[in-house]
Amino acid sequence: MAISRSGCEGCTSITCTSTLEVLSSETGKQVKTAYDRIESRGMSACLFGSTGTCCRNCNMGPCQIIDGVEEMVGICGATADTVAARNFARIVAAGSASHTDHAREMVRGFLETAKGHGPHQIKDVEKLKSLAQVFGIETEGREVNEIAVELGEKALAEFGKQDGAPLSMLKRAPAKRQAVWERLGIAPRGIDREIVEMMHRTHMGVDQDYENLMLQASRCALSDGWGASMLSTELTDIMFGTPVPRRAIVDLGVLKPDHVNVTVHGHEPLLAEALCIAAQDPEMIELAKKQGAKGINLAGVCCTGNEILMRRGIPVAAGFVQQEIALATGAVEAMVVDVQCIMQSVAEVAKSFHTDIITTNYRAKMPGGVHIQFDEEAPLESAKAILTHAIKNFKKRGKFHIPQDTKLDVVVGFSHETINYMLGGRFRASYRPLNDNIINGRIRGVAAIVGCDNYKLLDNSHEVIARELIKNDVLVLATGCAATSLGRVGLVTPEAVRFAGPGLAEVCEAVGMPPVLHMGSCVDNSRILIAATAMVKEGGLGDDISDLPAIGTAPLWMSEKAVAIGQYFVASGAQVVFQSLPTSGAKKFHDYLLNGLMDQLGAKWNVAEDPMDIAKLMIKRIDQKREALGINKQRERVLFDMAMRRELGSGPLKDAGCHGPAGG
């Protein structure tokens, strides 16, 4: 459905009140946003492009293929199925490459920290030691930094590995899943290698068999999920602290009228962490005061926002579709960006105001932006140079409009470790209570709502799905911009328990947790793999991820990364539902994704257009798994007695003022 702002009086398709308020304001009317561009283009998407049957992989084309029409194959003879599979596989490769390049930077930053360079330290020593074990690193009697250097070097080697044993972290998966990968020959050998091979196999005249292409697409995606993304999440946690539950606020109302507002947008938390430290520097605060501001207000956008929200409680101003809207307030002195999901239009919107778009990464510059290169070897100095530039803009601020009533409370920071500790209690961290509550039916199952927002679709889709799921006792795990949008509508807080079904509500109340758990940014979907594995290993819910009453969705996916994530979930045994897939023009291949993969992987893609249909499909799949496990009959509610409440009520939210295992 096309979304129009139509001067905003007729904005019936945008439900977000802060977006509507800014677009209707004097400052908002000054700018053109994606909503205007969609309206003027009429959203007439190319049929061949959107159904996956346009090929421009060689200069005999581009070829537009019509499935089943003999003369409408490619000049080279490529069929609709081959073309759609190659296009799909390239999307997976691009998404995996983005996570991989992000992860590589984080590993390099981790190594610098391990060597004692820069402002950061190894914060989570326990996690360092447990990851060191996965990599076969001796920890007994060794200095923390010595272990960290060896871990960093071994982690960096995972990217360029060619042969030998597969990626180290694959062995964290359930044994049965590892056997599936081995049997199919899809255990990734090295992270970069799988992306390169995927690009090669989709070149003109190489792999023409869609089933064979999908084997490599799975291997490539697994190198992201169990390789790059997992490395990034784990090493970032070790360096900056594993997230623990903390209260924070989200939405455009987090911008402050009397402060220098600096929004941090992109993905790699090295820059954002350095900015957080620099923003507390008395020298910087003094400079802001000299310019007439009361201080410096950092606020996140997109996944960088989620990273600093999870670890520091820094507010998030906007998700993906609100990046232009944040600037349209006229209250942002600088938007500091690094990589991924930064729309080129932000430079154009900024021109209407005093705002600068500060690019910081040599890989991502844009016309109209001011470039201040982030120096990994001197992060604090770079951060101060960036902030100084932003502070100097404060005096130039003209009219602005910050929607004051849109500032929502959230409780975030649900890492795998937190869930383990929170549900298992202080003395025996474990997933046992979660599994037991699934088996006895209080919790029907677990659903992940992840990924982007997308201007093409109704902006309340995440909310509709989440409300239906929690109402039906399904615990929701959220990441990325989906988590931000759920925070904006008040579902990421313990108070949202009133919207949950009776069984889920009982568990949430006993622990004091929200029915929607914010697990972080888009690379943090690897946390969901670890959580799913922990559920399997705890016992009682089958012996593979594919046995769990669990499912994921990225209903408003926009980025290629979302498809890579979807594919690594499916290859790990978890079903996913998308609102659409760019493969529907190729009947056999499309059917292979929606059905055929099941035989090999025990999981598959699903498609449903309407958000409510997505939710219903997710519940249906969860119930099918419950039935297969023989636990569907046990859904009569067992009321908590006092002993049960006491046992669960010892988690961090109840008795530790929102501080978990690693402190706060």
- x/- string (CB under 6 A) for ligand MSK, residues 492-531? -----------------------------xx---------
Q: Determine if 78 is a binding residue for ligand SF4 (CB under 6 A).
A: yes
Q: Distance of alpha carbon 84 from its chain centroid, rounded? A: 25
Return the closest-CA partner of residue 211 out of 126, 84, 337. Answer: 84
Q: Which helix (H) or strand (E) holds 55?
A: strand 54-55
Sign, Cα dihedral of 71, 77, 80, 83: negative
Q: Determine if 345 is a binding residue for ligand MSK (CB under 6 A).
A: no
Q: Determine if 72 is a binding residue for ligand SF4 (CB under 6 A).
A: no
Residue 64 or 580 having the CB closest to ligand SF4: 64
| Window 286 to 315, contacts with ligand MSK (CB under 6 A) | 302-303
* 449 touches 555 (CB < 8 A): yes
Residues in Cβ contact with 496 at an 8 Å cutoff, skipping those fewer than 6 apart: 470, 490, 514, 515, 516
Q: Determine if 561 is a binding residue for ligand MSK (CB under 6 A).
A: yes
| Window 540 to 559, contacts with ligand MSK (CB under 6 A) | 558-559
Taking the complex as a whole, how short is the minimal distance between the CB of residue 194 and ligand SF4, in angstroms? 22
Residues in Cβ contact with 247 at an 8 Å cutoff, skipping those fewer than 6 apart: 313, 409, 410, 411, 658
Taking the complex as a whole, how short is the minimal distance between the CB of residue 635 and ligand MSK, in angstroms? 33
Q: Which does 435 bind (CB under 5 to 8 A by kind): ligand MSK, ligand SF4, none?
A: none
The interface region with ligand SF4, picked from 70-78, 262-270, 345-353, 490-498 by CB under 6 A, is 70-78
Q: 516 pairs with which residues across the strands? A: 476
With CB under 6 A as the contact rule, the residue among 341, 447, 470, 571 that binds ligand MSK is 341
Please give the single-letter amino acid code of residue 100: T
C-alpha distances (whole Å) from 647 to each of 135, 429, 506, 541, 594 are 35, 12, 13, 22, 42
C-alpha distances (whole Å) from 457 to each of 2, 43, 453, 467, 609 are 7, 11, 8, 18, 10
Q: Determine if 57 is a binding residue for ligand SF4 (CB under 6 A).
A: yes
Taking the complex as a whole, how short is the minimal distance between the CB of residue 319 and ligand MSK, in angstroms? 6
With CB under 6 A as the contact rule, the residue among 85, 248, 252, 481 that binds ligand MSK is 481
| Window 193 to 252, contacts with ligand SF4 (CB under 6 A) | 204
Q: Distance of alpha carbon 462 from its chain centroid, rounded? A: 14
* 306 touches 484 (CB < 8 A): yes
312: buried, middle or exposed (CB in 10 Å: 19+, 13-18, 0-12)?
A: buried
Residue 137 or 522 having the CB closest to ligand MSK: 522
With CB under 6 A as the contact rule, the residue among 89, 452, 529, 563 that binds ligand MSK is 452
Q: In 3-state terms, what secondary structure has residue 334? A: strand
With CB under 6 A as the contact rule, the residue among 37, 56, 115, 371 that binds ligand SF4 is 56
With CB under 6 A as the contact rule, the residue among 76, 134, 366, 644 that binds ligand SF4 is 76
Give the residues lining the site for ligand SF4 (CB under 6 A).
55-58, 60-63, 74-76, 78, 83, 204
Give the residues lining the site for ligand MSK (CB under 6 A).
302-303, 320, 340-341, 451-452, 480-481, 521-522, 558-559, 561-562
